[in-house]
Amino acid sequence: MTDPVPALLIAIAAIFAATCIVALRAWFPGRLSRLLILGVVGITAALTLRTTIGASAEMIRGATADYPVRSEDRGYVSSDQCRACHPREYATWHSSYHRTMTQRPSPESVAGLFDVSLSAGDDRLDLTERDGRFLVGMPKPEWWHGPSLDERIERPVELMTGSHHYQVYWVSSGNSRMLAQVPFVFLIRERLWFPRRSVFMVPPDEVLDAEYARWNTNCIMCHTTNGRPRPQLPRTDLAQTEVGEFGIACEACHGPGGRHVQQMSNPLRRYSARLGIATASGIVNPAHLPAERSAQVCGQCHSVHELRRDEFEHWIREGFRFRPGDDLNVTRRVIVGSEARNDAEHFWPDGAVRVTGREYNALLDSPCFKSGKFTCLSCHEPHKQEGDARALGQWRVGLLRPFEEGNEQCQQCHQTKTGDRLVAHTHHASESSGSVCVNCHMPHTVYGLAKMERDHRISSPRVRDELATGRPNACNLCHIERTLDWSGRYLAQWYEQAEPALTADQQQIPASLLWLYRGDAHQRAIAMWAMGWPAARATAGQEWAVPELTRAMDDPYQVLGLVAWRSLRKILGDDALPGSILALPPSQRVQATEAAIGHRDGFDPAAVARLLSQRDNRPVRLSE
């Protein structure tokens, strides 16, 4: 099949040369005409050949690239065009985890330790850095279609996702631009490689997919800007995937910048903008949108949703049609209501979000958002503000606005909850964790990345909600040594809630131990994490939790061993437990942990055995 670009160039050159020949023969007679004609033809041929070769080479590079490539399309011009006029905004974005959500490999961007060998079952992975490339040697996988006479192949790392907690590595598959995931992830803080299946909440006996093509058809949605999978239909295992930019860049939140760049190339427009004279700028600022549309800019990624059928077909070929400022509901169906209550991979039984990264769904349920005044930017600031004394590293963790006091974000609307009135409302000392609004109204019941995050639903603690849904209440997340009965009585006394009917265990055994020994995998994760949370350790003490966390190291869910290990290290110090313990089978972890820190007596073994016999062993799979 002939490449269309070179063929078109040749046709144009032929028409140009023919026109010149006719004109020259008319204007110049005899030998001079022939010499001029030869000169025109020669120059035209040379320029055409040079252009054609260049165009063909570019097409060949694009067609044969074995990883997704950057390609500006449909008005997207990349963050490089923003830098000259918006240096401060560019600098803070460049320091954010949004930018580094997807990166190409380099010595600066690769967090993982290479030049090591890793074992995954009977398989061995050899990670090496050679000549500036990061290579993974592995047994020949099922997805490999390239030439190989050996039982092992070596593939280069082409992309990484993540740069804060984990870093996931994707290698070229040798099959168009489809990528395959390395079966280990790198834990950045702990500087450890960990098997992929051991960092996600999946049932112990569930076989994970090979993760071939997942980046091209899933991660690309939110971990890039203007991503287009572009499968080579009718085949779905081949693709010419393109992105406007790797990572979450300026145009993901502000819309395509091509029109804006073109307009602002006019000096008069630039000066007018500097003087505050409003003109059509061709760009969107989420802070200037109505609350609902502003939140939808974040909701395009931070939500559980389904693409409407025509949108899915468009995205596969040409990318999303949604642009900041549009109504997200036109192209996506955000999961709420009864549909959410029946989706256990993302929601608790009452529709509250249970996995991280889906804050928009929780926000829609919040009475604060329903008031019409509240939006994501009420608390979060995607660009560090001028005058903010915090270091970039501190700001970028939560992208929070620089509130001077711990409750100031809530007191924007709830001005009466200050001073003595705050204490009267919380029944806790003003400086205690019990008087921090978000600890009670945004508790850590959302799971992700082997830790807990805050629920953005913004609700009030009620023991009866826990009994109905299984979602731990905020009171017992701080007071982990107390019972549900204790929390229920104080909530009834302070806030006139009806005291719930409780079993003998709920009246006598600390709530955290009920979650830990009798709960499902998500409840156990919450209990393990809470035992290492500084607010709970300050409130309830910490040494008593050590034997309970040690017992939890044998949890059949591999990732829960990681959660327990992290909390133990927060209590005992990072040097107390080596990472090598995590490489052991769960059945050997308790003994190895006790060998490292010594045996400690904990909660009554007979009671523990009884609670374990009642454990909720229903499979839990949380789709982070």
Clarify whether residues 90 and 57 are in a common domain.
no
Percent of the chain topping pLDDT 90: 76
pLDDT of amino acid 427: 96
Domain assignment present for residue 353? The answer is: no
Whether pLDDT at 143 is above 90: no
CA distances from 368 to 360, 362, 376, 475, 520 (A): 13, 11, 11, 21, 31
- Which stretches of 256-308 are DSSP H helices? 258-264, 267-274, 291-299
Residue 56 has pLDDT above 60, yes or no: no
Inside any domain, residue 305: no
Reported as a single tens digit per residue, the pLDDT across 605-618 is 999 999 999 999 99
In a domain, 200, yes or no: yes
Give the pLDDT score at 206: 87
Please report the pLDDT score of residue 3 as a whole number: 40
Are residues 46 and 149 located together in one domain of the fold? no
Same domain, 57 and 86: no
Q: How many domains does the chain have?
A: 3
Q: Are strands 305-307 and 116-120 parallel, antiparallel or unpaired?
A: unpaired
Q: Do 135 and 218 have their domain in common?
A: yes
The last residue of one of the domains, among 16, 35, 64, is 64
Average confidence (pLDDT) over 26-38: 54
356 pLDDT higher than 60 = yes
Instruction: Please identify, among 223, 246, 269, the residue that sits at the C-terminal boundary of a domain.
Output: 246
Query: What pLDDT digit, counting tens, does each position of 313-350 carry?
Result: 999 999 999 999 999 999 999 999 999 999 999 999 99
Lowest mean pLDDT among 48-52, 286-290, 574-578: 48-52
218: domain range? 81-246
CB contact at 8 A, 422 and 407:
yes
The answer to the question of residue 330 being in a domain is no
Q: Is residue 490 one of the residues assigned to a domain? A: yes
Q: Per-residue pLDDT for 52 more than 50? A: no
Residues 122, 35: one domain? no
| 254 or 73, which is more confident | 254
pLDDT in tens, 419-448: 899 999 999 999 999 999 999 999 999 999
* 405 part of a folded domain: no
| Per-residue pLDDT, 543 | 96
Widest CA span of the chain, in angstroms?
Answer: 115
Q: Which of 465, 423, 458, 463 is nearest to 443 (CA)?
A: 458
Alpha helices in 401-518 (DSSP H): 408-411, 419-426, 437-441, 463-469, 474-478, 484-495, 504-508, 511-518
| 47 and 162 co-located in one domain | no
Whether residues 610 and 469 fall in one domain: yes
Looking at 246, 265, 280, the residue that finishes a domain is 246
Residue type, 295: A
Considering the domain architecture, whether residues 155 and 237 belong to the same structural domain is answered as yes
- pLDDT computed for residue 29 by the predictor: 58
Tokens coding 574: 């990072």
Is the pTM for the entire model greater than 0.85?
yes
Peptide bond connecting 231 to the previous residue in cis, omega within 30 degrees of 0: no
195 and 140 fall within a common domain: yes
Residues 93, 53, single domain; the answer is no
Question: In this structure, are 50 and 183 located in the same domain?
Answer: no
The pLDDT value given to residue 63:
43
Same domain, 119 and 34: no
The pLDDT value recorded for residue 31 is 54
